[in-house]
Each structure stands twice: as structure tokens, then as C-alpha cells.
Structure 1
């Protein structure tokens, strides 16, 4: 899958840089060409000689190297690759990426490129959990930057937790996913996921128990088959899918607006658990508790995103798929929903608490279409996602 693919590998400054040497070896074994860029801090952990020997290529280091600029300027270097990989991606380098800083060769390459970028973060657990890093990661995901990891485990500093760089073979798998060519190559697919949060006041909101795990699994499956996936998600717990363009939203109204911006697409899959109602007028201040007096909330109906797209007269996606989370008369209610909304397929599931599906790792679904109801056995959400992705690929031809 990686034969003759060109990977521009930026090696950041951290003890995890030693894993990048093995990563180069693994990529070369699979036929990829690796052009290494070693940051000043990265060179404190691995030598240019070891990197160059494994890559079989010159190591680029200096933004102002006149010979490099004459042979291959930094703009051309950043755009000649099929994928840019940052491993390890330090907190400092991700901060540069998030703010658009370009004060060295590596950060300039990332800012000057239109090539997809995959980051493998590596840092101390407290640095990873710091609000500044979380903000930067959110910004980068919103910009379409892909991530692999970090993993959880023991660290060189003696602490334990998330922040370990993914293992080389995990990064290779993420690279293969990012460069995947399959039955959905050239297809642009929209996936919505997660809950929406409808504010009551600045500290309270209406939501549901959706984790976003099924939507993330579906986006990953579609990406692995070559699709260009736009992933519009509410504030979900699940990780964001590597390789998808991620759009973060909070409310149903924001999700509808984001969906309309994405169109047209070849298929739209609405896996998000959108809140049906919102508070008509959310308070700008926290509603204070008063003894003997309950607050009065006036509700308004949220926009119906699935119906809006399904019933479009112009620009409607060739395939529109909805999800129906039901607790009673699952098949009957989901069948009626498909006809009422006007979508092509409905993926129905039983989310009664005793099933463990809402927020769990498994799912039991029924695919409802013009051909009737097709029951699938209980399986992991990743398996459900791959089954559905295969059906989508077959439908789109």
C-alpha cells in the first residue's frame, strides 16, 4: 500500500524521537520514500547520521540553507510529499502549528503545505492534559490535521498516563489509512456524530448519552476504504477519526449549518444523536436556585437535520442514511421514521439501558431500506461500521 509513497517525516525534540528511527525502517520496508526533517531539538535525541542512514536520504535541518533553497526550496519540499508526518509531535511544535508560527524549517514546511498532515503526539501526561494543549489539539483537528495517539503508559519521566507516542507500527497503520485507496476513493462522504448540547444557561445544557463511538468507527471505516470523509461532531467522548476532516460543533443549529456548508457530497450518514428540543431563550446568566420556586423553561423544536437534507430538491446526496435510537417497537418506529424523513436507509437500534448499547462498545442494528428490514447480529461498533461502509460502497458503485 505504501510502495513509492513519499513521506516527509518531521522529527521533533523528545525522547520518543528514538522511535522515529524504527518508524523510518518500517516505512522503507513497505516501499515508501522517507524525506527526513530534523528539528534542532530533535537532533539532541537522534543524530542526523543515523536518520540519514536509515532513510537513505539527506536530512533537512536549516530553513536558511542556501544550497537547499537552490536545489529544493522549502515550499517545494513541503508539497512534493504524499503525506507529512510529525513524529514525535511535541507540545511546543503543536502550539506552533495551531498558531501558524513559522520560525524554523519544520514549522515553515507545515504552514506552507497543502499536503495532508498526520501528527503522533508525545509529551508528559500533564502537558498533554493541560488546557493549552487541549485547545491546540482542538484547533488542529478543526483545521483537518490528523492524529494517531498518544497512548497511555509509563513514561521516561517516571509518570504514567496518556502522552506516550504511538508505536511505529501503529503510526504505519495510520499512514496507510491516511493514504488509503479503495472502493470509495474519490467519493466525498459526510458523517455526523455524537450528541448536541443545547444550553439552558452558561453552566447547564440539555444533552443525551451518546458517546459518538459509532460515528467515529464509521468515519474510520469509510476513510480506510478511500473516502474523503467530513466528520461533523458534537461534543462527544470518542476520539476523532484519523484521516477525516473534523468539524466541531455544539448545538443542533450549528450542526445543521456545518452540514449545509459541506454539501454537496456523494453520501450523507447522520449518526449524530441530535437533541430534539432546545430552550427557546437560554439565559445569559446562571439560573439561581430559589427555595420553593422551580424555574420555568420554554422549549422550542430544533431543526430536523436528517429531514432537511433528505427532502432537498436540489443537491440532495445520492444516498442519505439516518440512525434511529429506539426503546420501544424498534422496527415499526424506525420504518415510520424513514418514510417520514425521506431518507434512503435507516440504521435502527434498541437503546434500552439493559442492552448496554448507548455508550457501549457493541451494537445490534437493523438496516431498513426499500427492500425491507435486514437484521444484523450483535457485534462490535467497528464491525458494524465496516459492514455499513461496505454496503455504502456497493450502493455508490
Structure 2
């Protein structure tokens, strides 16, 4: 009979548990703070509540569950320690680890969905082009289908499912499932990053504001980076070898990726809060320029008149609210008309549709 392998004390003392505790605790605080700031921003901006707020709340609950499960997995399942060390401490801990190895992936698959739907809802609330909106709905279908299909696959990964903690039964290739089950997240992230770019570049606004809007949408797609890193980490990690040790990497990235998705989904909603603090710091709001020649043909915020008109024969041009351009252009759809003017009629070649919340 072969002797059991021996391990050095240094090997047995190795631990990744402090990293798990630290990162998961930081994620709990950061995710909660991100959602609280979103709520405050909407209250300050007097914005309407919608289905996207329900998605954010659902996403927060699932993310908190993932982080809690990862901490429990480390404390009571031995994740972050070598399996040989766990067997020395308490072999029963592997039962907890076996449950968490299926619970955490199922929560992860659900956690990445709400933030993506929030960003798609934002796109739909801003842009009105039919092709663009159809693309958004198509991406939403892919996101939901991927979640549903992978969740079913997770429940069918082992027969019976108790194999994970009893080691009795059989499974398909768990490594391949963990690695490729989330690949659709990368694809949808790339599509969601590219989708609004043409529409933003066509907006008739200043370069500064255009860059600001682009940066906002790029920040909302930061989850793409963590999605790629998670895919790589899962690709190089063998979940079937030294399960409690390799499980630390799997648990952490299953918590980090949806956490970043949730935080970045909240970022675009912070604009009213930022403007609120900017106004307080300045102490006053810039006034409407009185000289019609100084206007640049921009739009105004909802707190200012859309235009001014004199009682004489001459009309004043559309004025601009210096420094307040961002408050207005965020929710406008610009339609350009190229039809030839008819004799005896005045043709407007730009039409601005302003949505009032």
C-alpha cells in the first residue's frame, strides 16, 4: 500500500484566506456605497424611479450573497488553504466547500445580469434610433439566454449534484464549464461598449462634452476588463486539483467581476450629484447671457427657458448656459434633415427633441 504524500510545514502553513476576507469585505462596502450614492444622486436630481433601480437592488443583493458565501467558504470550507491542511484540521470542512463550489457559480451567473440590463436600459432611455434599440434588445436576449442556459448546465454538471461534496457519481468537465460559461460576458461587453459610440460621435455638441459622455460610457464598461481577467484566471486554474487552494482564485474572481459590473452600472447616474457639489462649491449658478451675440446656439437646462423672443421683428438666438451644457444634452436626440427648402417657406435643418423627466 502506497504511503500518503508528505508535505512540508511551510507548504501546509500557506494561506490565501486573509486576501479573501479583505477583498470580499471591501467589495461589500464599495458595492453598498455605490448603490447608496446612486440613490442620493437620483434624489438630488429629482429623477424618476424605474425598473433599472429594481435591477440595481437585485444586483446588490446577489453580490452581497456572493461575498458572504466566499467568506463562509474560507472560514468553514477551508478555501484558501491546501486540501492536505484542511484534512488535518477538519475533513468535514470539505462538505461545506463542496456545497459552495456549486452555489457561488450559480450566484455569479445571476449577479452579472442586472448591471448589464441597467446599462441597456440607460441606452434605451437616451437613444431613439430603431436599429440601435433593436441591437439593445438583442443584447438583452443574449444576456438572459446565457444566464438561463448556464444555470441549467450548472445544475446538470454532476449527477447527482451531491457529487461535489460526497464524491459519489459522475460529472462532465467542470473546468471547461467554469472557463467557457462566462465567455458570453466578454462578447456582450464588447458589443455594449461599441454600440453607443456612433450615436455619441454624431451629437452636435462641444468636443469637451462629447469626450465627457464617451468617458462615462467607457467607465460603464469597465466590467469588460475584469471579465477578461476572470476568464484568464479560470483558464489557467485547475479546479479539480487541490480544490480548496484553487477555489480561492475561483471564489475571488466570481465575486470581483459582478461587483465591478454593479459599481460601473451606478456611475452614469452620479451626474446630478456631481453637479450639486459643483454648484455648492461655486456658490452660485451662472446667469443667462443677455447679449444675443454671445450665445452659441446651445440648449438650456430644464431650470432655464429654452429660448427667448423679443416683441419686435427680430428674434433672439437660442442662448447658452455656460458651464451647464451637460445638464441638457444628455437626453437629446438630434435629427438632421437634408431636404431642399421650398419656395416661400422657412426650413429648419436641425430638430432637437428634449425629454423632460
Normalised by the length of structure 1, the TM-score is 0.21
Normalised by the length of structure 2, the TM-score is 0.22
Higher strand proportion (structure 1 or 2) = 1
Higher helix proportion (structure 1 or 2) = 2
| Relative contact order, higher structure (CA 8 A, sep 6+) | 2
Answer with 1 or 2: which has the greater Rg.
Answer: 2
